[in-house]
Amino acid sequence: MSELELPVIDLAPAFAGTPEGLQQVASELGKAARETGFFYVRNHGVEAELIDATFSAAHTLFAQPTDAKATLSRNFFKTNRGYVPMKGENLDPTKPSDLKEAYNIGLDLSADDPRILAGEPFRAVNLWPELPGWKDTVLSYFNAVWDLGRTLHKAIALDLGIEQTFFEDKLDAPLATLRLLHYPPQPDDAD
């Protein structure tokens, strides 16, 4: 492997249901984390059809009229949920606003969830567009990637020499955000 290549870890053994498979992945993951700091994964268990459907759902959402998307934007910077319009964010105040639009979801909580009622930061009800199948597709993708993260953490725990379930109660209600992004063609005069 040259200096610029990242290791590729095959996760299929972790999903085989054997302790040896998970241990193999744990060893490879630990080595990659210690030696390179980054890695790719393959055979990650997130179905290609679901990935494609999620990209399609994002395309469908961002193709909606601006007025329809604007209804999905309520107190975004407090909740971290919903739609962010074009030029709605600016990470560097000395530069023009970002030429992108975004849509965030997180853990799917109900309005009466105690964390929401208590006003916990970044806990909010997801805002769902009224597009057929959209919520099911995007939420299925969020959950599939969440499950993948939990599997990776089982391997991390094994590599660290601790019980493989150590991280489970730390990952049962993540603050993770799925952010769909749309960067339309940029104008020639854009900074």
Pick from 111, 100, 30, 19: which is nearest to 74 by CA?
111
Check which CATH number belongs to the domain holding 60 and give it: 2.60.120.330
Q: What pLDDT score was predicted for residue 110?
A: 95
Q: Exposed/middle/buried for 38, CB within 10 Å: 0-12, 13-18, 19+?
A: exposed
Q: What angle do CA 17, 40, 99 make, to 5 degrees?
A: 125
Looking at the fold, whether 26 and 82 belong to one and the same domain comes out as no
Tens digits of pLDDT across the chain (191 residues): 556 689 999 999 999 989 999 999 999 999 999 999 999 999 999 999 999 999 999 999 999 999 999 999 888 778 889 999 998 888 888 988 888 999 999 999 999 999 999 988 888 999 999 999 999 999 999 999 999 999 999 999 999 999 999 999 999 999 999 999 999 887 777 66
Residue 93 lies in a domain: yes
**Same domain for 86 and 15?**
no
Instruction: Mark whether 35 and 104 lie in a shared domain.
Output: no
Q: What is the per-residue pLDDT for 3?
A: 62
CA distances from 190 to 59, 96, 98, 186 (A): 23, 9, 10, 7
> Does residue 58 share a domain with residue 111?
yes
For 57-66, the pLDDT digits (tens) are 999 999 999 9
Same domain flag for 137 and 83: yes
d(CA 151, CA 15): 8
DSSP secondary structure string for all residues of 68-130: HHHTT-SSHHHH--EEE-TT---S-TTSPPPS-EEEEE-S---TT-HHHHTT-TT--PPP--S
- Same domain flag for 28 and 72: no
- Give the structural domain span for 22: 1-44
Q: Write down the residue that tokens 């998970």 correspond to.
A: 22
* Residues 30 and 67 placed together within one structural domain of the fold: no
Do the domain assignments include residue 158?
Answer: no
Q: Are residues 86 and 14 part of one domain?
A: no
Tell me if 189 is assigned to some domain: no
The verdict on 86 and 122 lying in the same domain is: yes
pTM over 0.75: yes
Q: Into how many domains does the chain fold? A: 2
Residue position matching structure tokens 């759902």: 57
